[in-house]
Structure 1
Amino acid sequence: MRPFDPLCTTYSHNIRVLRLARNPGRLGTMPPALAHVSSRDFSAVIVCVGAGSRHEPRGQNGVAHLLEHAAFLGAGQRDYRAIRTAIDELGGDVSAETGEEVILYWGSANEPRDFPECLDLVADLVLAPVFDPDSLRREVGTVIQEISGAGDDVFQTVVEGAKSLLWPEGPLGLPVGGSPRVLRRLGADACRGYWRASHDPSRMLVLVVGTAAESKQARKRFGAEVLEAPRVPLPPQWERRGEGPYPPRSRFAAKPLAGNFARLAFGLPGISWSDPRLPALDLLNGVLGRDETSHLWERIRGEGLAYNTESYVDCFSDTGWIGVLTDAPVDRAGEVVGIVCEEVASLPERLTIDELERARASHIARIRNDELAAPLEWAKYQALHGYFLGRVPTVDGVVRELERVTFEDARQVAAELLQPERLVLCAGGPRRALRACETAFDKAGGVG
């Protein structure tokens, strides 16, 4: 799963902000939380469950991803065909996605009359998966094909490699999709056990986009309470905890791959969803590599060194990371590595007011322009925001946070987070490109 920049997708509806009161003493006994975003033009239900790969039992990496697939094989009174028939008839979007800390289930309805069926289907997927052993045994092969296909996407391969450098001893460093070796050992019992442990109502947030009547239906179907609280469970006991990624044993990893290009994934320790520095970091991301006028875009894409170049920010409940993805011709891979290292090291000093304002204007324009274009993606972001922080954001609220960032704020955050001595690199490609990458990274002070 590629890192997702949710602030790039939004939409204009009358959004009611719900402030959620945290009460840790009740966690584990609470019913699901419910948030309502008022809309007369779009209807959807999104459910966040604290069941991502970070919370898997030790030795069962991939069970969360397999559970996500298992739900669509049979849930409630529906078998596989009935589920697929319902999805086709709804004509909207009913699906799920596994991340490091959540499984996200969602469904959208094209017509108001379809919302009850959409809600019932999503609720069954979350609350009543069947886990038929024979069906699940066949699905394991499908999941292995999926992650093997992802392995052919060398960008995903190097992203997972960079994460394993940042978190070499914890579950955040493991692939979200799992590995074929482990998946072949998992079955209905493992999925059922993980579902029972992870799909506790206290770890659920249900977001309804639609009318008050639709929100009432969801509240009844899930037995949810409108009085909400952040729903993030603690990391597993076997994980070494801290404010950020662990000090890596090595900061460079090479993955030999055939082809005429190298794919590079750089990573830096980042920050959590709740860190007040996040708006400033989001603007710095625009200056570094997200925008088409960014430093990396102009020096790499603009000079014809790579077609794909981007930077991103990925947040978790108590940590996060800053990433750079780029490709490079085999004979110039070392040059691209040097450029990225140089830009990360120099941005805190080279940042100018003009380029910060340009990044701010670009990001706000993107939010405003996308208001009508991607309502489901923005609703997913709202659900995640509510799950991790206990409040559902408005478009105007996000814009106000970006507008409050000063130049001094951005310079300070850049100095705190863009520390080249903490940079890691996973490179994939032909061996001669990998040698050039390692040499260039070493020259920049990166190989530990």
Structure 2
Amino acid sequence: MSEHSQAPEAPGPKVHVLGNGVRVVCDPMPGLQTVALSVVAGRGARSEDELRSGWSHLLEHMVFKGAGGRSARGIVEAIEAEGGHINAATGYERTSYQVRALKHGLDLGSAVIADLVLRPHMDEGDLVREKQVVGQEIAEAADAPDDLVFELAQTAAFEGQSLGRPILGTPASIGAADPAALNAWRAALYAPDSLVVSAAGAVDEDQVLRLAERDFGQAQAVSPPPPAQAASFQGGMRPTAKKLEQANLVLLLPAVGAGHPDYFALRLLAEILGGGMASRLFQEAREKRGLAYAIDAYSETYIDTGVLGVFAGCAAEDAAELARVVAGEIAGMTEAVTEAELARAKAQLKGSMFMAREQPLARAEQAAAHMLMFGRILPPEELGAEVDAVVAADLVRLTEAILAPRRAAVAVLGPKAALKAAPAFEKALFG
């Protein structure tokens, strides 16, 4: 190769739709020896009613107890014998099954995930035992302050809605599941219209399409769950006394969803506010005042709504002052940021997005998420252009819109002295 020649560009992802509606994405990454396969259903805990709260997560557990002629042990041994790893995750709006393997492991990985999604055994004895396991998981989350405080804030933000219920469910709702009902829920949740089969890494388009047709092409359509209700940010305070060494705070404000034109402005707002060591919150709350060891801001987005959030851990006696500092920094975002600050945030956001694209599993998951949210895969150059198009005035306008409802969801977990942080935050922000 001459010094002026360039390596050929990697082909972009190709999208196919099977006859039953299953979407298939093939995203080759030349030079790799491994493959990532992600099969994602565009439904999750948000599709549940109160009686079935937690069933999507319970189902994710249950399919691994045996599927397609393999036992629980047989499933993992088959994948690991090929140098692979298998995992799954349940969210509010998506449920994902993933295999990472050497490139020759794609055939087996596709077959195993298809068995999990379409042909689980659903043994009654396994279900009894798995309810106990999930019950312990619920108890563990209740004992973990950094899990519980987020759950309290989420409940306050979306009280009475599926987005406000814990993904794990409750012992009562989990206990109500039986094998037949859970299998019917599986068929609705993982119906072909909601499935995306996404492969990235050392993959070949013809092979991916052939395996998808073989393993998912015969999935039968069934009646889906009712559409999730439109989300409504309620807000409220959840001060909860617990004997802990420090206070844990989660402060949420209503924001925009993933499909909103201000999505990237929200990401940049969170980055400037508390996305790293140069962020406003880190510098003001930790470096200047010494009020917190851990503090960060983030955005969480769903299809139709989102939140701007701040998490912090601090001494109980500092909680109220820290809450006021956070309120002041959020209010300060109604003034235009500097060009240098905005440029840093853009560089950080693009860096995180593009670095993730260098990992096959993250790439496969991102492609599936794009297909489910937007109906197409957004190319990197478009993502970068969207980030670059945000100007300082957009952040001011977005902050004003976030504050306009005068609603916040505030969870404080820790010693009693910390609980005054909840009203302190609202008073400082809204008066």
TM-score surpassing 0.5?
yes
Deviates further, 192-201 or 418-427:
418-427
Among 17, 22, 25, which residue is 1:35 paired with?
Answer: 25
Structure 1, unaligned stretches of length 5 or more? 1-12, 22-28, 226-231
**Given that residues 272 and 320 in structure 1 are in contact (C-alpha distance below 8 angstroms), is that contact kept between their aligned partners in structure 2?**
yes
Deviates further, 301-310 or 154-163:
301-310
- Give the letter for the 1:216 counterpart: L
Indicate the SS of the match to 1:348.
Answer: coil
Structure 2, unaligned stretches of length 5 or more? 1-8, 219-223
- Following TM superposition, by how much is the alpha carbon of 1:121 offset from its aligned partner in structure 2, in angstroms? 0.9
**Given that residues 247 and 412 in structure 2 are in contact (C-alpha distance below 8 angstroms), is that contact kept between their aligned partners in structure 1?**
yes
Larger gyration radius, structure 1 or structure 2: 2
Distance in 2 (CA, whole Å) between partners of 1:442 and 1:115 is 52
Indicate the SS of the match to 2:240.
Answer: strand
User: What is residue 152 of structure 1 aligned with on the other side?
Assistant: 143
User: What is residue 49 of structure 2 aligned with on the other side?
Assistant: 57
- Following TM superposition, by how much is the alpha carbon of 1:351 offset from its aligned partner in structure 2, in angstroms? 2.3
Larger relative contact order (CA 8 Å, sep ≥ 6): 1
Matched, 1:355 2:345: no
Indicate the SS of the match to 2:100.
Answer: strand
Distance in 1 (CA, whole Å) between partners of 2:98 and 2:366 is 12
Matched, 1:189 2:173: no
Give matches, 1:80-229, under 5 Å.
80-109=72-101, 111-209=102-200, 210-224=203-217
Identity %: 28
Q: 1:350 to 1:233 in 2, by over 3 A?
A: farther
Post-superposition CA distance 1:306-365 (Å, at most 9, x none): 222111111112112221111111110111111111111221215222211111122223
- Following TM superposition, by how much is the alpha carbon of 1:194 offset from its aligned partner in structure 2, in angstroms? 0.9
**Given that residues 35 and 100 in structure 2 are in contact (C-alpha distance below 8 angstroms), is that contact kept between their aligned partners in structure 1?**
yes
- Give the letter for the 2:24 counterpart: L
| Two-structure CA RMSD over aligned residues (Å) | 2.5
- Following TM superposition, by how much is the alpha carbon of 1:203 offset from its aligned partner in structure 2, in angstroms? 1.2
User: What is residue 26 of structure 1 aligned with on the other side?
Assistant: none
Give matches, 1:177-326, under 5 Å.
177-209=168-200, 210-224=203-217, 235-236=227-228, 239=229, 241=230, 244-248=231-235, 251-302=236-287, 303-326=289-312
- Following TM superposition, by how much is the alpha carbon of 1:233 offset from its aligned partner in structure 2, in angstroms? 7.7
Matched, 1:383 2:363: no
Distance in 2 (CA, whole Å) between partners of 1:278 and 1:106 is 27
Q: 1:335 to 1:273 in 2, by over 3 A?
A: same
Residues matched between the structures, number: 413
- Following TM superposition, by how much is the alpha carbon of 1:287 offset from its aligned partner in structure 2, in angstroms? 0.3
Indicate the SS of the match to 1:318.
Answer: coil
- Following TM superposition, by how much is the alpha carbon of 1:377 offset from its aligned partner in structure 2, in angstroms? 2.3
Indicate the SS of the match to 1:421.
Answer: coil
Q: TM-score, normalised by structure 2?
A: 0.89
Q: TM-score, normalised by structure 1?
A: 0.85
- Give the letter for the 2:68 counterpart: G
- Following TM superposition, by how much is the alpha carbon of 1:157 offset from its aligned partner in structure 2, in angstroms? 1.0
User: What is residue 228 of structure 1 aligned with on the other side?
Assistant: none
Matched, 1:441 2:425: yes
Give matches, 1:314-353, under 5 Å.
314-353=300-339
